[in-house]
Amino acid sequence: MNLSAFIGMHTGHTMNMHTFLSAPDLDGTDITAIIPDDFRLQSGQKLEQTDVVARLYGPANAPVVVAAGGISAGRVLFAKEDATAAAPGWWEGVAGPNEALDLNVWRVLSIEFAPRLPASQIYTISTHDQARLVKLLLDQLGVERIYNFVGASYGAMIGLAFAELYPDAVERLCIISAAHRAHPMATAFRGLQRRLLMFGKATGRDAEGISLARQLAMTTYRSDAEFAERFDGPPPELAGENYTVCGYLRARGDAYAATDVNRWISMSDSLDRHRVDPAKIKAKVFLAAVPTDRLVPYDDMKLLHAQLADSVFIDFPSLYGHDAFLKEIPAVSDIVRMSLR
């Protein structure tokens, strides 16, 4: 189903909300849950951190929605008055008062992924491990069932893992740019990034390794069509000089030089070991697939749709490939809004 048709079919349908909601917390309050001493990752490793943290927004008596984004997203979903160009919330324009993920209406838990920064080692951590940590936070809040798990990219993978592990704990899923498995081509791209990171670390050239890995990553986040539109210029005068697109990639890579290598390798590997069984998911699932996504193939999301018991498939056309969930704010807002109705 295309996005405009989906919106038209759902216009006017709203969830039966509380008649009276308490005053919303728009600043957000950090929530901490203790990680039990016997908690182990599926790999057998023990996290160095002793607790997991998230930020809780919205009215205290509203239905709970969990929100999770890409591997760079933190718990600051919406930054209210202190938002700046340097440090806004990761989903400004989608989440906020009177936005699609309306913080006046929903009690929104925005999660912080493990491992915590700085990471002292590389962890073999799965999306199911992250889902178990989300469950600790919900247990801390006394929430037995959430209304929706809204996720994009890595966060959507965690949403699928959560719904597989705890099928009775979630009513709906909004899954943007994620499937039930990692695609081998995406694993190939990320595997090369990890080798660059480890090579930089082993040779004492961490910043250069990070920059090169980020440059490679940037070629996977966006579409061929966008690169053609932005960078189809003449070649440089001499061999060895930067082409326009290469200059862009170097700038983006160098801007990422302070990234924690151990955490990036851990999270990158987590993306690649992601596997869920769609047959175990009971929730109603809204799937939004971007045809130009180089990391999550459209056909993989179609296959996931076919294997789920109750799902809606939404065509989400975009020039921006995998980054559409960050760039296409109006379209993403429509998808999120409809999944909540």
- Residues marked active site are found at 153, 293, 322
Buried/exposed code over 34-53 (b: 16+ C-beta within 10 A; e: otherwise):
ebeeeeebeeebebeeeebb
Are the C-beta atoms of 253 and 242 separated by less than 8 Å? no
CA 76 to chain centre: 13
Nearest C-alpha neighbor of 110 from the set 50, 48, 170, 53? 53
DSSP 8-state assignment for residue 243:
P
Phi and psi angles of residue 2, each rounded to the nearest 5 degrees, phi first: -80, 160
Distance from the Cα of residue 50 to its chain's centroid: 23
d(CA 185, CA 177): 15
CA 104/CA 90 separation, integer angstroms: 18
Q: How many whole angstroms separate alpha carbon 31 and alpha carbon 56?
A: 7
For the chain, state the CA radius of gyration: 20
DSSP strand E in the chain: where?
25-34, 51-58, 64-68, 95-96, 101-102, 107-111, 146-152, 170-176, 284-289, 311-315
